[in-house]
């Protein structure tokens, strides 16, 4: 039994609460190594400095915040987190620089506004993600938001599912676009209508990134809105009970279980556990891409619009987030609703159409969190990086800002496509989802003159959609001082070689990995 399985067997992650509360009074040093690991079940990760500072992640189901909740995050950022917060790729909020003695106050204030950190990290079901515009826009065929809330409640604090082999990620979208990136989730429900007209969802299982990426597999199952929570629970139960998945931490995700069983056998086991005959998958053709919703999107009622604001590299000050909440109250819904996206941005829904221009003229959406950002600022996505994470090989946040500024200054947008994505991950874990980006950057180390320096592997051609693909590595271990020029070279090659009207994504899809690699190898220096 590996050490992670042993610590969970010795004490359930949910049972660390008493030790956490003692540590808030007596100091983090009283916690043993195993209890520090169990703090993840309450959303707490120690900074890589191991000096008593923690990251605190909060669940936000499908990214929907009230104005009160958004304002609280801004307040906590200013009071405890050095004045800023991070938006994540799972529609959550992370606060850094938290000390354990501050946690009781934070948790109390979260509870007052209906927020929780329970299950935000650890080997447990994580935040349930979904369409950023659920219920208000797109061609919605099923109520994904209600189903996501139901799934969230089913698993929250549920000790039957608090010791899984690894983390478990769930995506629920009721819209035809499936914009929650379901293909890279452990379980994905995407809106689909049965032959008899009943609204529901197609089920996919076994997606995930990191060192062994997989797209979620079609298992030929359709579920109604009423069945969805029960069926997802049985999928999680299959995963929980798989002892094979507990042998190796590196192969503990459900994607490996689906690899071993195959989709048909997995379906058979799921049907056996559900206790009723599962309906075959419904005919549907969602684009499965994952849209960013930046800018103005008309809502389904025809009278309102949603306005998406770009949060560069997903990091925003408390003051600016408070201003988002103010604008949401002034221009949006009565409760000041704010929504978080999968691309680390924010969105203000329910803006009356006649007030959209006035909102866009406000300083925040005009300049600071732009509703019309430059191409590369818009599409850049990053993880926490070496600043706080012990797994990361390189710094990401500030370097990503530099990359965006450089590319927006030096690359002339000319047919690249409106949604060109550059993702920057600090390591192979792919928290920045660099494997599905048009250009994915992964931090590595390279030995130069006897010392290790920050370097990057670069992938090209990743994308979701009807024919999804993980990006291929085209050049390895680019030293950090050569990264900007290498990226510029990539876009120069595109400009010189693409067909008329061909976007970067389309060009990358038809271009062999070797073509890029041959042209990106540094030219030898003449003696």
Is 428 a member of any domain? yes
* 244 and 322 assigned to the same domain: no
> What is the CATH number for 51?
3.90.480.20
pTM for the model: 0.95
* 239 and 269 assigned to the same domain: yes
Q: Half-sphere exposure of residue 441, counting CA atoms within 13 Å on the CB side? A: 32
For 258, the enclosing helix (H) or strand (E) is helix 254-261
* 366 and 342 assigned to the same domain: yes
Q: Which residues contact 368 (CB under 8 A, 6 or more apart)?
A: 320
* 263 and 140 assigned to the same domain: yes
* 319 and 434 assigned to the same domain: no
Of the candidates 337, 372, 407, which is a domain's last residue?
372
* 144 and 265 assigned to the same domain: yes
CA distance 258 to 268: 12
* 268 and 351 assigned to the same domain: no
Angle at 433 between CA 432 and CA 438, to 5 degrees: 110
* 334 and 458 assigned to the same domain: no
* 167 and 262 assigned to the same domain: yes
Query: What's the rounded mean pLDDT across residues 341-351?
Result: 97
Of the candidates 79, 113, 147, which is a domain's last residue?
113
Q: Count the domains in the chain.
A: 4
What are the phi and psi torsion angles at 255 (to 5°)?
-60, -35
* 427 and 490 assigned to the same domain: yes
Is 118 a member of any domain? no
Q: Phi/psi class of residue 498: alpha, beta or left (left: φ > 0; alpha: ψ in -120 to 50)? A: beta
Give residue 143's domain range: 134-274
Is 502 a member of any domain? yes
* 263 and 341 assigned to the same domain: no
Sheet holding 451-460, edge to edge: 380-382, 422-425, 439-448, 451-460, 472-479
Is 399 a member of any domain? yes
> What is the CATH number for 360?
3.30.70.3340
Query: What's the rounded mean pLDDT across residues 419-431?
Result: 94
Is 168 a member of any domain? yes
**CB–CB of 335/348 below 8 Å?**
no
Residues 352-396: pLDDT tens digits?
Answer: 999 999 999 999 999 999 999 999 999 999 999 999 999 999 999
Query: Which of residues 322 and 527 earns the better pLDDT score?
Result: 322
Is 119 a member of any domain? no
* 151 and 260 assigned to the same domain: yes
Sheet holding 304-309, edge to edge: 64-65, 338-340, 346-352, 304-309, 295-298
Query: What's the rounded mean pLDDT across residues 123-148?
Result: 93
Give the CA radius of gyration of the chain.
Answer: 23
Residues 100-120: pLDDT tens digits?
Answer: 999 999 999 999 999 999 999
């Amino acid at each position: 039994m590996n050490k992670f399985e042993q610590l969970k067997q010795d004490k359930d992650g949910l049972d660390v609460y008493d030790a956490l509360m003692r540590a808030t009074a007596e100091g983090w040093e009283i916690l043993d190594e195993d209890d520090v690991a169990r703090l993840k079940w309450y959303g707490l990760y120690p900074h890589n400095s191991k000096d008593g500072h923690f990251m605190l992640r909060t669940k936000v189901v499908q990214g929907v915040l009230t104005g009160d909740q958004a304002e609280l995050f801004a307040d906590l950022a200013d009071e405890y987190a050095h004045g800023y917060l991070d938006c994540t790729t799972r529609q959550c909020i992370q606060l850094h620089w938290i000390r354990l003695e501050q946690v009781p106050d934070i948790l109390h204030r979260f509870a007052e506004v209906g927020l929780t950190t329970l299950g935000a990290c650890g080997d447990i079901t994580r935040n349930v993600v979904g369409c950023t515009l659920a219920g208000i826009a797109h061609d919605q065929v099923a109520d994904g938001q209600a189903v996501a809330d139901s799934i969230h409640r089913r698993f929250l604090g549920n000790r039957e599912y608090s010791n899984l082999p690894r983390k478990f990620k769930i995506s629920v979208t009721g819209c035809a676009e499936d914009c929650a990136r379901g293909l890279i989730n452990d379980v994905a429900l995407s809106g689909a209508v049965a032959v008899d007209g009943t609204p529901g969802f197609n089920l996919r299982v076994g997606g995930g990134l990191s060192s062994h990426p997989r797209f979620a597999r079609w298992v030929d199952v359709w579920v109604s809105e009423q069945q969805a929570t029960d069926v997802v629970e049985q999928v999680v139960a299959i995963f929980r009970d798989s002892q094979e998945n507990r042998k190796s931490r590196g192969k503990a995700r459900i994607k490996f279980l689906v690899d071993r069983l195959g989709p048909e056998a997995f379906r058979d086991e799921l049907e056996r556990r559900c206790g009723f005959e599962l309906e075959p998958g419904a005919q549907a053709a969602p684009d499965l891409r994952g849209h960013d919703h930046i800018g103005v999107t008309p809502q389904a009622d025809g009278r309102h619009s949603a306005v998406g604001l770009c949060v560069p590299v997903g990091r925003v000050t408390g003051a600016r987030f408070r201003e988002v909440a103010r604008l949401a109250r002034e221009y949006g819904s009565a409760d000041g609703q704010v929504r978080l996206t999968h691309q680390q941005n924010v969105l203000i829904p329910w803006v009356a159409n006649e007030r959209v221009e006035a909102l866009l003229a406000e300083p925040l959406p005009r300049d600071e969190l732009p509703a019309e950002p430059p191409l590369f600022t818009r599409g850049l996505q990053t993880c926490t990086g070496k600043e706080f994470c012990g797994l990361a090989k390189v710094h990401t946040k500030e370097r990503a800002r530099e990359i965006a500024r450089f590319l927006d200054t030096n690359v002339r947008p000319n047919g690249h496509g409106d949604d060109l994505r550059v993702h920057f991950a600090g390591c192979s874990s792919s928290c920045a989802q660099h494997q599905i980006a048009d250009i994915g950057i992964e931090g590595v180390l390279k030995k130069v003159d006897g010392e290790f320096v920050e370097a990057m592997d670069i992938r090209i051609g990743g994308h979701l959609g009807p024919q999804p693909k993980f990006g291929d590595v085209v050049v390895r271990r680019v030293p950090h001082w050569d990264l900007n020029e290498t990226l510029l070279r990539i876009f120069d090659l595109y400009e010189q070689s693409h067909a008329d009207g061909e976007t970067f994504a389309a060009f990358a899809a038809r271009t062999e990995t070797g073509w890029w690699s041959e042209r990106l190898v540094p030219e030898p220096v003449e003696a």
